[in-house]
Structure 1
Amino acid sequence: MLGEALFGPQPAAEAVIAEEAGAPVGFALFFHNFSTWKGRRGLYLEDLYVTPVARGRGVGGALLRYLAGIAVERNCARFEWAVLDWNADAIAVYRRMGAVGLEDWTVQRVEGEALRRMAGA
Structure 2
Amino acid sequence: MKRISWIILCAITFLITDTAVANTLVANEKEAIDIVIKNVIANGLLYSNTPKECLGYAVIDSTNLVYNIGISEHHGGKCGGDPRVQPIVVRLRVERTTGKLLWYDAVDGEYVDQPPHHLISK
TM-score, normalised to structure 2, is 0.26
The higher radius of gyration belongs to: 2
Q: So what's the TM-score if we normalise by structure 1?
A: 0.26
- State the structure with bigger RCO (CA 8 A, min sep 6), 1 or 2: 2
